[in-house]
Structure 1
Amino acid sequence: HRARALDGPPAVLADDLAAAALDAHPAHTHPEPYRALERAAELTAPHDPAKAERLAAAARHAWVAGRPQVARSLLARLRSLTTPRELRAQVQLLHGSLELLGGETGSAREELLAAAAWFLESHRMLGVRALVRAADASYRAGDNRAFIAIARQAAALRRPDETDATQLMFEYLAGMASTFSGSHQEAAAPLRRVVELAGSVRDPAVLVWACVASMLLGEDASAHRLSARAVEAARVRGAVSAIPQLLEYMIYPEIWMGRYSSVATTAAQGLRLARETGQLNTAAQHLAWLAITAAVEGDQETCRARADAAIDLAGAHDLGIAGAIGTWALAHLDLATGRPADAANRLRAERRTNSHVVIRVMATPHFIEASARTGDREAAGAALRVLERWVGSTRSPGLRALVARCRALLAGPGEAEELFREALDLHGQGVYEFEAARTRLLYGSALRRDRRPGAARTHLHSALETFERYGARLWTEQARTELRASGEPVRPALDATTGQLTAQQLQIARMVAEGATNKEVAEQLFLSRRTVEHHLRNIFSRLGIRSRVELVRLMS
């Protein structure tokens, strides 16, 4: 208040205000530090070096608080000031971080590498962090060569006296570089070391790399725990800007474990926070994950809308990862609707143009299934060999089950049944329930084609039960079709409490029945108002009603 009222000499007020802002705990009763630091900079004389330092500090605090546009504006005001080299490096690190999550990934990488070159000599922890962020920019772009080059640069800089957090980041770069090179056995040791070091680390931005390491080791439950720790640590610190990206890494293990309702919740929260904090790159990835959940639910229109939006953002910002997930979502939908040729063509084209290894491997079981069903055994076999090399370096029964299933799809007469049984035995040891149902559907279909309808029905019934529980409408219909083909009459499909709605339609119906407007539903579910109106018309038609009043009465 004294600074606003100019109650004293400006220089003294600026010093007092800056000191108070930097000392203040980010508690509820204090104004956000960036506002105080910005005011302190305004009160500081242009020739005073403290003016630039306070503007830079204000920009950093604005970024942490989830105000990227404010941070960019404050950084822009630094251009007219003379700044020392160390401060310029700090500005490069911050600007590169802003670009990483909201701008062009190539620009982010160059700025972060420039910042790393300076800080590795003067502030080692910041320098290593800048290197890892530069590598992350390459990861998001799907530029494996650039990632490997950064990892090699980092390996030459290691010292025997590193802190645990710094060691973790070096081991992460080494393990990821080996993974991207296809040397999965070689990658296992540094990745396991990353997970071990995570126990002594509290920084959420460092913990997230341990989550990635766990996932690559096939330890999904551990990966999920580490990502949850990172999110909670960021919340405690008030690091709003970090949370949307941290939520991305919570989704990976949820996808592997088939926790699609959790994926939808996590991605919706991440998308909302990413949009609020101006992180378009992160928003693109959350949109793509939401396309995956829509594909699982069988909501074709929503899946395509979200996937197309993610792919468009990916193209504009050089985001190989978001584009790969969006394409995978569309291929998942192709398989669910019985179009394996379209799925195979889509994933084959993606593999030619996008080298994002992690998503390529995650989508490989779908690619092998689509290729096998369309007779392209050569492409399916080549993809299987890559999947086998990675899975062989893990201890995951769920992943080994997927490999056995893929082998069964490519097996000759008399060999497939044993491999399907092996896959189901392994599924029984893991937690991939949705994928176990997909294995049972494929096995049941194979038994039915082999004129063994009685044996087929056992697996098809089990698959049907799981798909119905997940609200996976298109996969449910596939299981019903196979049961009918096996000679068993199947009751009509009934979903949820209303008996006839898809999972997406039921969610919209409940929200409308609770009083939400079409605009409010669209905002909460990240759909267009036109899409919500389309869904609502279909809801009324399926339920045989004409008004919201009737919907309220029915839903109650």
Structure 2
Amino acid sequence: MLDQLLTSVRAGRSQVLVVRGEAGVGKSALLEHLVRSASGFRVARAAGHEYEMELAYAGLHPLCAPLLDLRERLPGPQRDAVAAAFGLSAAPAPDRFVVGLGVLGLLSAVAEERPLLWVVDDAQWLDKTSALTLAFVARRLLAEPVGLVFAVREPSNLAEVTGLPELVVGGLGDDDARALLDSALPGRLDELVRDRIVAESGGNPLALLELPRGLTPAELAGGFGVLDATPLANRIEQSFLRRLDSLPDDTRRLLLTAAAEPVGDVALLWRAAARLGLGADAAAPAQSAGLVDLRGRVRFRHPLVRSAIYGTATLPERERVHHALAEATDPDVDPDRRAWHRAHATTMPDEDIATELELSAGRAARRGGLAAAAAFLERAAELTPDPARRGRRALAAARAKVDSGAPDAADKLLAVAEMCPLDDLQRARLARLRAQIAFALRRGSDSPPLLLDAADRLAPLDGDAAREAYLEALGAAIFAGRLNDRVGPAEVATAARDAPRARQPPRPIDLLLDGLTTRYTDGYVAGVAPLRRALTAFGPDAGGDHDELMRWFWLPWLVAGDLWDDETWYGLATRAVRLCRDAGALVVLPLALGYRAVVHLHAGEFEPAASLVDESDAITEATGNAPAKYASLLLAVWRGVETESLAALNWGLGNATARGEGRGIGGYGYTSAVLYNGLGRYGDALAGARSACEYDDLGILGFALVELIEAAARSGAHEEAAAALRRLEERTGAAGTDWALGVQARSTALLSDGAAAESCYREAIDRLAHSRIAVHLARAHLVYGEWLRRENRRVDAREQLRTAHDMFTRTRAEAFAERARRELLATGGTARRRTVDTRDALTPQEGQIARLAREGLSNPEIGAQLFISPRTVQYHLGKVFAKLEITSRGQLNRLPLSGLDPT
């Protein structure tokens, strides 16, 4: 398999492989074979180390350091992110996924010259940031001559490589195990002893070589040993330790020093050894025993040797070698590693070391190493003698733990901070952080009261922070929705009325808080004007803080939908996607892509919506974030794919209920109503719409009322439909947009007769034609045509129904198209089913790349937008040209956009 991997890479096809197996099974030997066989390749190697797991980019640095001179070839954001991550600039902390894209660009650049092979041993001990970055890169490789091979111990908790191609390395068969054992021992071995060793080893080669070393001659001869039940890795370590016992004290101390310093810098090791009074002769016994190789770099025979040496040393012994290593490390060249060694050289409080660690935390945070910053701060808090400073540092460490995605660890640090003397502001910040952790972990009804309490505490101390906390509490209450029986949006809004006044000029989030407060205390109509001011503040003409928009865009986007403001709805989603792309904010980009997909969908652009959904799914798979599934569900129900829709609905409803996401219940009720109205199953649609309309979910209730009115009108529930229409008119009348008044007119027409109905149908079509909401325009043509048929005006009905059928067919809204087709047949008209030859159709990604190329973007620009390498862009463009029977990018401009749609 490894030889085939090299063959594929030489042919220009990227290959990724995870070599998985227990300690000692031979993974490292296979990697050595791979490296020896990689003639003509540029090879870089790295290994994870237990003691570096908290140091950001420690595992990635040896792979990337030789390539950093190529960073000038990268687009600006990627170049800056790579420079910041590896300490080459003092730029703000980069998003780790922009670093990942920069690393992908470096790989692509170097692979233009010759094939590249990256080999990572002991990947289970990589620092979190390196592991995430490498996994991201591994999932984005396609058309580069690059091989990326990880070796991972089994069992392993390295979730980042889950789903990548694997080579599982098992133990040797019995015959091979016996042959290896015989080759390693002089003389004959008792058959019973040999069978026992083979059985104990499970075919593990290192165990076969090491376990016999712990047996006495009598045991080897007669098999009198007792079977050891300890884990195999421990027994191998014990065999190494028995060999260490025979070594001189100075040699063992030198090995411990080497084990405590995972960089493998021989010069550093000897500087530290000199401080410990160790001479060059201390190394000879260990090298003769085959335990360590000090030529060029420090390399232990096996990682289990390192862990055995370090794990069995006493605490005072470890402290002495860490102190020597700290003294031997240049504070100007590597201040962070020096601080880390100093921190492990003592268990006593030490303010100097704590201060040094705090400075290291700041540098780590600026490089984007949030996990490293949290680790430095956590250790700094442990070593801080002054209780007040300890509390401040523990609180800062907890904040860093939350930012790095470790809320459980943050909770423990908050408990430490609580035991320290904190001032009122610090205690208020602690309460807010604890509430944010609760929301991150559970997203249930316990979060809004905690966030509200934190906001109340902050109010007299920090006005800006208090207003942010009130908005967080309001967002959490909106999220919890009907499942929140303690503090709902109205209760939070009532409390927020007493929040400190906003600074002048107010921030967009200040206007948003004021608008939502008005909406939930004085009602929908009263909230329209202040919420419009807030939406304007989030608009492109207002400028504003980009980070603030990326953090909060989900809430004003929901508000825009709630106000039927399709222009702002479109603008916010488009701007959020662009900002998230430019910043490489892959944590929130999938959500922005989902919102933009929903906007495309309502504009009748189902294929671009599907492309964005696919891109969102690809990013969440690469990053390991929770998938954003609402857009894909909405696309499925508008397409009318019942089986797919029901599976997603059932899963989503159960998932939302389990998480305490009450708003999700309203969303799934609404989407089921859309599905069944399309299928003409109005009773089922009515049930879904009723569920959605039981609670005022922001951005859902108005849409659900439209579905309820149609379903109730078609089911004969006219009083229920009329009541729903009155609720709808209050909202749409206050909103006053063409979208709002268009769906109001259509809903009114469904409950009207004669000339009044026809006037409303025509108004609906006219208003919706002036909006971006093409799917509801098509539905207005549909229900108008259905009404005309019932009025026995068949010719007029055919015109409306054929228009509806054509619109639904173009967008692939199959259920609504079929409903229009049946009605058209009932008028005596005909409708052709759309057929598509999909043999040479573009895939969603190919269609997206073709559209971007048509707009004039270069391959690097397209790659930066889609988080793939320029070489992969060129690979896809080659397939696009072949399918479209063209030969250049310029010819794309002569094709209609519809010709670039995937199937």
Contact (CA 8 Å) 1:178, 1:187: kept in 2 or not? yes
Partner of 2:134: none
Q: CA deviation at 1:375?
A: 0.7
Look up the SS of the partner of 1:159 in the other structure: coil
Q: CA deviation at 1:14?
A: 4.2
Partner of 2:379: 42
What one-letter code is carried by the residue in structure 1 that aligns with 2:475?
Answer: D
Q: Which has the larger radius of gyration?
A: 2
> Deviation per CA, 1:361-419, whole angstroms, max 9, x where unpaired?
11221111110001111111111111111111223112211111111111023432222
Whole-angstrom distance in 2 between the partners of 1:7 and 1:405: 68
Q: CA deviation at 1:2?
A: 4.5
Partner of 2:773: 432
Matched, 1:222 2:568: yes
Contact (CA 8 Å) 1:214, 1:220: kept in 2 or not? yes
Partner of 1:483: 824
Instruction: Map 1:399-548 to 2 at 5 A.
Output: 399-495=740-836, 497=838
Matched, 1:333 2:669: no
What one-letter code is carried by the residue in structure 1 that aligns with 2:765?
Answer: L
Whole-angstrom distance in 1 between the partners of 2:712 and 2:396: 54
Moved more, 395-404 or 262-271: 262-271
Matched, 1:76 2:422: no
Q: CA deviation at 1:431?
A: 1.7
Instruction: Map 1:314-353 to 2 at 5 A.
Output: 314-352=656-694
Partner of 1:190: 530
Whole-angstrom distance in 2 between the partners of 1:425 and 1:232: 32
Whole-angstrom distance in 2 between the partners of 1:118 and 1:226: 33
> Deviation per CA, 1:232-290, whole angstroms, max 9, x where unpaired?
5566667655555666665665565455455555556666767888876xx5xx32332
Q: CA deviation at 1:333?
A: 1.5
> Deviation per CA, 1:160-185, whole angstroms, max 9, x where unpaired?
754521xx444433433444467443
Matched, 1:57 2:400: no
Moved more, 335-344 or 268-277: 268-277
What one-letter code is carried by the residue in structure 2 that aligns with 1:223?
Answer: W
Contact (CA 8 Å) 2:741, 2:764: kept in 1 or not? yes
Partner of 2:45: none
Which of 90, 94, 99 lines up with 2:429 in the alignment?
A: 90
Contact (CA 8 Å) 1:58, 1:74: kept in 2 or not? yes
Partner of 2:544: 201
Contact (CA 8 Å) 1:41, 1:50: kept in 2 or not? no
Query: Judging changes above 3 Å, is the alpha-carbon distance between structure 1 residues 233 and 341 closer, same or farther for their aligned structure 2 residues?
Result: same
Matched, 1:289 2:625: no
Query: Judging changes above 3 Å, is the alpha-carbon distance between structure 1 residues 79 and 98 closer, same or farther for their aligned structure 2 residues?
Result: closer
Contact (CA 8 Å) 2:670, 2:703: kept in 1 or not? no
Query: Judging changes above 3 Å, is the alpha-carbon distance between structure 1 residues 40 and 154 closer, same or farther for their aligned structure 2 residues?
Result: closer
What one-letter code is carried by the residue in structure 1 that aligns with 2:359?
Answer: A
Partner of 2:870: none
What one-letter code is carried by the residue in structure 1 that aligns with 2:795?
Answer: G
CA RMSD across the alignment: 3.6
Query: Judging changes above 3 Å, is the alpha-carbon distance between structure 1 residues 3 and 237 closer, same or farther for their aligned structure 2 residues?
Result: same
Whole-angstrom distance in 2 between the partners of 1:239 and 1:87: 29
Contact (CA 8 Å) 1:101, 1:279: kept in 2 or not? no
Q: CA deviation at 1:31?
A: 5.3
What one-letter code is carried by the residue in structure 1 that aligns with 2:474?
Answer: A
What one-letter code is carried by the residue in structure 1 that aligns with 2:453?
Answer: A
Whole-angstrom distance in 1 between the partners of 2:524 and 2:340: 65
Whole-angstrom distance in 2 between the partners of 1:252 and 1:296: 11
Which of 116, 128, 137 lines up with 2:476 in the alignment?
A: 137
Q: CA deviation at 1:51?
A: 4.6
Query: Judging changes above 3 Å, is the alpha-carbon distance between structure 1 residues 457 and 341 closer, same or farther for their aligned structure 2 residues?
Result: same
Instruction: Map 1:106-125 to 2 at 5 A.
Output: 106-125=445-464
Contact (CA 8 Å) 2:407, 2:440: kept in 1 or not? no
Query: Judging changes above 3 Å, is the alpha-carbon distance between structure 1 residues 54 and 267 closer, same or farther for their aligned structure 2 residues?
Result: farther
What one-letter code is carried by the residue in structure 2 that aligns with 1:75?
Answer: D
What one-letter code is carried by the residue in structure 2 that aligns with 1:382?
Answer: A
Contact (CA 8 Å) 1:290, 1:303: kept in 2 or not? no
Contact (CA 8 Å) 1:22, 1:33: kept in 2 or not? no
Partner of 2:646: 304
Whole-angstrom distance in 2 between the partners of 1:52 and 1:268: 45
Q: CA deviation at 1:76?
A: 2.0
Query: Judging changes above 3 Å, is the alpha-carbon distance between structure 1 residues 200 and 492 closer, same or farther for their aligned structure 2 residues?
Result: closer
Contact (CA 8 Å) 1:42, 1:51: kept in 2 or not? no
Query: Judging changes above 3 Å, is the alpha-carbon distance between structure 1 residues 398 and 443 closer, same or farther for their aligned structure 2 residues?
Result: same
Partner of 1:386: 727
Which of 467, 481, 493 lines up with 1:128 in the alignment?
A: 467
Q: CA deviation at 1:311?
A: 1.0
Instruction: State, as a whole percentage, how many aligned pairs show the same letter.
Output: 24
> Deviation per CA, 1:299-346, whole angstroms, max 9, x where unpaired?
222211211222112211221211111122222211122201111122
Q: TM-score, normalised by structure 2?
A: 0.50
Contact (CA 8 Å) 2:497, 2:517: kept in 1 or not? no
Moved more, 329-338 or 191-200: 191-200
Query: Judging changes above 3 Å, is the alpha-carbon distance between structure 1 residues 72 and 270 closer, same or farther for their aligned structure 2 residues?
Result: farther
Query: Judging changes above 3 Å, is the alpha-carbon distance between structure 1 residues 492 and 498 closer, same or farther for their aligned structure 2 residues?
Result: farther
Query: Judging changes above 3 Å, is the alpha-carbon distance between structure 1 residues 349 and 507 closer, same or farther for their aligned structure 2 residues?
Result: same
Whole-angstrom distance in 1 between the partners of 2:844 and 2:576: 30
Whole-angstrom distance in 2 between the partners of 1:473 and 1:436: 16
The number of residues matched between the two structures is 495
Which of 370, 373, 388 lines up with 1:33 in the alignment?
A: 370
Matched, 1:155 2:497: yes
Moved more, 339-348 or 203-212: 203-212
Whole-angstrom distance in 2 between the partners of 1:119 and 1:365: 41
Whole-angstrom distance in 2 between the partners of 1:343 and 1:112: 37
